[in-house]
A and B are shown apart, each in its own frame.
Chain A
Amino acid sequence: MAERDPLRERFDAFRDQSMRAARPPGPESIPGVLRRRKRRRLTAVAVAVAAVLALAVLPTLGNAPRPPDPSISDTPAPIRPSAPTSAPPTTIITTTAGPPGAQAGGPATSTTAKPSKCATPPDGAAYGDPYVYGSEVLNGVPYSIRPADYFDQCPAYRLRFVEARYVWDRNRQLIVLASTTERYLTKASPTVPAPNINTLPTPCGEGYVALQTTKPIPSTIPNSVQDTPSAYLNLLQKHATAAFSFWHFPTSTENRNNPSCTPSPSTPQTSPTP
């Protein structure tokens, strides 16, 4: 007779008792459990997706384009010089503004640089790509701002232009400021009419400049620069940015040789703008 396994009896007893005592909770609750789990999974996935999106989007918000801030100084950018398309009188210099210190009438350069920020450009510096049409100015074509979308980027921008007229003083020793006209270029009116230079009396010398500036412009042009075709512009650009200029001042020697240009007691037509 085989030996009976003592563990078998204990396990059988345990199994019988446990089977009798077993009270299964029933399968009825299982579908509800599955539904709740699925709902929790979907919620967790939604939260995870939202978190990932937030992490992906939030860093880019810091680099989003900001609205114009006039308090931020702009970086000067080169402006577009232009040359006359038709030959003007030899003594007429039609020029455009360039970087401070640039020679007017130098090699034409073109740039598509746009102002990166909406701020008032510093005086005496170029401010993007202002208008200058060269000889077209002589025909009274309005001048404006380039690039054309400048005001689209900076709709609140107001660009102050001063149109200044210079003449000889009565002793013909100094070129003095005769009159000024202040204009503002805005998004609503991005252009201003150019003066009709053809009507200006120029036999003995006269200058006309449009300057972007927030400061008073020089009331005199020293002798040291007046006979140099572009020196006056360099001087003015220390104070402002010249959008264009018409400059016709015969040299002192030429004036002395011109009887009609002898020193006269004439005075400036208007008082200089402070």
Chain B
Amino acid sequence: MVAATRGSAANEVDLGCMGLVPDRSTAPLVVAPEFADFYAATFPQLLTQLHAFVGDRAEAQDLVQEAYTRAFARWSAISRFEDPVGWVRRVAWNLAISRWRRARRLLHWRRDLTQPDVEGPDGLSLDLTRALAKLPPIYRQAVILHYVADLPVRDIATLTGAAEGTVKARLHRARTMLNELLSLDDRRSGNG
């Protein structure tokens, strides 16, 4: 991949119309097409994962955008990685975990609010996200990485810093808890 560069190469995106005046800083001033492609191809996946984790799309979007911002500043190196999206995913998840720790009480307060089971503004059912919100964060992270990111246990263990056996145990408990929560939810809504 080609790193985001400074200057006025022909294949670079012209950001002059966006008020991005080149300066003498070391940070890239324009977005290289390769980064734009990478961004467009991987952003929705990460957004979905973080959305499932934090339960709020806007907050998840901020986290993912921040991860891509950090990737942009180091794109010349990250673009040479074997799995650039893995770097961004790890940053995004770290940001999410850190933010969750800082705002733990607030998040609990928000998720404990009794909300009617209605479809969200984007058409997504809230039952899964509400059930996920009731899982412990480490279980929630494991199950999201397994089902949403489709990561194998080994990669989940690498990303979370836990042993594979621990990840398997977390997945098992998370599945059990989710099934109970969702079946209970279904019974309440008369679906089951």
- A: residues with CB less than 8 A from B are 6-8, 10-15, 17-19, 21-22, 24-35, 38
Q: Are A30 and B69 in contact (CB under 8 A)?
A: yes
Q: CB-defined interface of B156-185 with A at 8 Å, one 1/0 digit per residue?
A: 000000000000000000010011001000
B-chain residues with CB within 8 Å of residue A38 when the two chains form the complex: 25, 27
Q: How far is the CB of B106 from chain A (nearest CB, A)?
A: 23
B-chain residues with CB within 8 Å of residue A33 when the two chains form the complex: 69
Is B138 on the interface with A (CB-CB < 8 A)? no
Q: Are A14 and B52 in contact (CB under 8 A)?
A: yes
Q: Which of B39-47, B95-103, B108-116 contacts A (4 or more CB under 8 A)?
A: B39-47
Q: Are B48 and A18 in contact (CB under 8 A)?
A: yes
Q: Are B47 and A22 in contact (CB under 8 A)?
A: yes
Residue in A7, A18, A28 whose beta carbon sits within 8 Å of that of B15 in the complex: A28
A-chain residues with CB within 8 Å of residue B76 when the two chains form the complex: none
B-chain residues with CB within 8 Å of residue A30 when the two chains form the complex: 31, 65, 68-69, 72
* Nearest B residue to A6, CB-CB: B179
Q: Are B123 and A17 in contact (CB under 8 A)?
A: yes
Interface residue SS majority, chain A: helix
Q: Are B28 and A31 in contact (CB under 8 A)?
A: yes
Q: Are A7 and B45 in contact (CB under 8 A)?
A: no
> Are A14 and B148 also in contact (CB < 8 A) when A19-B45, A30-B72, A38-B27 are?
yes
Q: Are A25 and B51 in contact (CB under 8 A)?
A: no
> Are A27 and B68 also in contact (CB < 8 A) when A10-B128, A17-B124, A32-B20 are?
yes
Q: Are A7 and B124 in contact (CB under 8 A)?
A: no
Q: Are A8 and B36 in contact (CB under 8 A)?
A: no
Residue in A6, A10, A22, A28 whose beta carbon sits within 8 Å of that of B48 in the complex: A22
> Which of A10, A18, A30, A34 has the most chain B CB within a 10 Å cutoff?
A30
Q: Are A19 and B128 in contact (CB under 8 A)?
A: no
Q: Are B69 and A15 in contact (CB under 8 A)?
A: no
Is B73 on the interface with A (CB-CB < 8 A)? yes
Interface residue SS majority, chain B: helix
* Nearest A residue to B30, CB-CB: A31
Q: Report the Cα distance A38→B25, complex, angstroms.
A: 9
Q: Report the Cα distance A27→B31, complex, angstroms.
A: 7
Q: CB-defined interface of B5-49 with A at 8 Å, one 1/0 digit per residue?
A: 000000001010011100101011111000110011001110110
Is B61 on the interface with A (CB-CB < 8 A)? yes
* Nearest A residue to B42, CB-CB: A24
Q: How far is the CB of B173 from chain A (nearest CB, A)?
A: 13
Q: Are A21 and B123 in contact (CB under 8 A)?
A: yes
B-chain residues with CB within 8 Å of residue A24 when the two chains form the complex: 39-40, 43-44, 47, 61, 65
Is B81 on the interface with A (CB-CB < 8 A)? no
A-chain residues with CB within 8 Å of residue B51 when the two chains form the complex: 18
Q: How far is the CB of A5 from chain B (nearest CB, A)?
A: 8
CB<8 Å pairs between A and B, sample of 10: A11-B147, A18-B47, A19-B44, A19-B45, A22-B43, A22-B44, A22-B48, A27-B35, A31-B15, A35-B20
> Are A35 and B27 also in contact (CB < 8 A) when A7-B147, A7-B175, A18-B51 are?
yes
* A-facing residues in B103-133 (Cβ within 8 Å): 122-125, 128-129
Q: Report the Cα distance A29→B30, complex, angstroms.
A: 10
* Nearest A residue to B146, CB-CB: A11
Q: Are B128 and A11 in contact (CB under 8 A)?
A: yes
Q: Are A34 and B147 in contact (CB under 8 A)?
A: no
Q: Report the Cα distance A113→B57, complex, angstroms.
A: 80
> Are A31 and B31 also in contact (CB < 8 A) when A11-B128, A38-B25 are?
yes
